[in-house]
Amino acid sequence: MLKVAVVTGGAGFLGSHLCDKLISNGLKVVCIDNLLTGSIENIEHLFGNENFSFIKHDVTNFIHVPGKVDYVFHFASPASPIDYLKLPIQTLKVGSLGTHKVLGLAKDKNAAFLLASTSEVYGDPKIHPQTEDYWGNVNPVGPRGVYDEAKRFAEAMTMAYHRFHGVKTRIVRIFNTYGPKMRLDDGRALPAFVGQALRGEDITVFGDGSQTRSFCYVDDLIEGIYRLMMSEITDPVNIGNPSEITIKQFAEEVLEITKSSSKIIYKPLPIDDPMVRQPDITKAKKLLDWEPKIDRKEGLKITIEYFKRKLGI
Ligand code: UDP
């Protein structure tokens, strides 16, 4: 009998890659998504597969999944800054009410539960790189607070279900990730810069571009998440690529790889935009024997090809 995994947010960027990975590892997958920011296009290649099923559902409401479930991956949430600024209440609801419902499902099925948390729990961090024992520097009432605090609440709820109900839980703190199936219009730096470079438009760097990010290729991230679920680690684990770059250098790198003649222009820095971000992955290396394998130039080339196909270039 095959193991069964439920993936909430399974039609999103990360969720759909996770569905692919689980199916190719021989699991049955039940994908749940309300398609608020996810898209059927990301999973349509799986529809003919007998080990895949899709339920269109908002996980902030009671969830019913027939039959046995072995693993529950909770990935449902708007996740890019422009999405959660547009959908503040839904973002808070899916992180709080949604996490509660999905934990309830895991408890009922005696399944292991993995929460997709985020480096945003560290806010604008005062320590660098960020280790899992850092509690963060988050503005609860700023515009990003809707996402950051929802994920912080989700972590607390996950630990409560672990401690109080004995649910087997895992928490992954995901740092900036990119790859095919990202939406060109999700507003994040990587799709924005690549789209602008390919269309010959100005590259919009926010602030002076000295803020840093560390970008992880999606396949590396999904491998780390799979290993974490299969482990017994209940404390949070950072998964990301520690290769750090300033946003200005990153814009230049995109221009170079796309051979674009676009110009860099500067726009105001969004409120509470973190100044630095880099995962300390000592824990993942030691406990999961995991580290990223795909460097940024290689990952960017694959992703740029994907965006070119999307744009019909
Ligand atoms: N950014 C930018 N231009 C854009 C979009 C984003 O300079 O068109 C900056 C943004 O202000 C942030 C960094 O790039 O400092 C990464 O932003 P992103 O939205 O990709 O993700 P975040 O790490 O902020 O969640």
Amino acid at the residue 259: K
Identify the three-state secondary structure at position 6: strand
Nearest residue (CA) to ligand 1, atom 6: 189
Q: Is 122 a catalytic residue?
A: no
Ligand 1 site, CB within 6 A: 81, 176, 188-190, 192, 204-206, 211, 213, 247, 269-270, 273
The string of pLDDT tens digits covering residues 183-222 is 999 999 999 999 999 999 999 999 999 999 999 999 999 9
What's the 189 CA to ligand 1 centre distance in angstroms? 4
From the list 236, 216, 232, the residue with the least C-alpha distance to 294 is 216
By residue count, the chain amounts to 313
* Helix 296-311 with 189-199: angle, nearest 10 deg: 60
Atom number of ligand 1 nearest to Cα 206: 7
Q: How far is CA 284 from CA 142, 164, 185, 231, 233, in A?
A: 31, 26, 31, 11, 10
CATH 3.40.50.720 domain span(s) along the chain: 4-177+218-239
Q: How far is CA 94 from CA 88, 144, 155, 172, in A?
A: 10, 15, 13, 17
Q: How many CB atoms lie within 10 A of CB 114?
A: 26
Cis amide leading into 274 (omega within 30)? no
User: Residue 82 C-alpha to ligand 1 middle, in angstroms?
Assistant: 10
pLDDT of 92 = 98
Query: How many angstroms separate the CA atoms of 180 and 195, rounded?
Result: 13
pTM for this prediction: 0.98
pLDDT tens digit sequence for 131-169: 999 999 999 999 999 999 999 999 999 999 999 999 999
Identify the pLDDT of residue 176.
98
What are 91-132's pLDDT values in tens digits?
999 999 999 999 999 999 999 999 999 999 999 999 999 999
CATH 3.90.25.10 describes domain 179-213+243-275+294-311: yes
pLDDT per position as a tens digit, 20-40: 999 999 999 999 999 999 999
Contact 42, 17 (CB under 8 A): no
What is the model's pLDDT at position 87?
Answer: 97
Q: What is the pLDDT of residue 3?
A: 98
pLDDT mean across residues, the chain:
97
Q: Is the pLDDT of residue 313 over 90?
A: no
Percent of residues, the chain, with pLDDT higher than 70: 100
Which residue's CA is minimally distant from atom 13 of ligand 1?
189
How far, in Å, is the centroid of ligand 1 from the Cα of 212?
A: 9
> Which member of 147, 161, 178, 217 is catalytic?
147
List, by residue range, all CATH 3.90.25.10 domains of the chain. 179-213+243-275+294-311
239: Cα separation from own chain's centroid: 10
Q: Which of 273, 275, 277, 278 to mutate to test the pocket of ligand 1 (most atoms within 8 A of CB)?
A: 273
Percent of the chain with pLDDT over 90: 99
> What is the CA(188)–ligand 1 centre distance, in A?
5
Smallest Cα–Cα separation from 129: which of 210, 209, 212? 212
Q: What architecture (CATH level 2) is domain 4-177+218-239? A: 3-Layer(aba) Sandwich (3.40)
The amino acid sitting at 103 is L
Q: How far apart are CA 70 and CA 66, in angstroms?
A: 12
Q: What's the alpha-carbon Rg for the chain, to the nearest Å? A: 19
Tell me the Ramachandran region of residue 149: left when phi exceeds 0, alpha when psi lies from -120 to 50, beta otherwise.
alpha
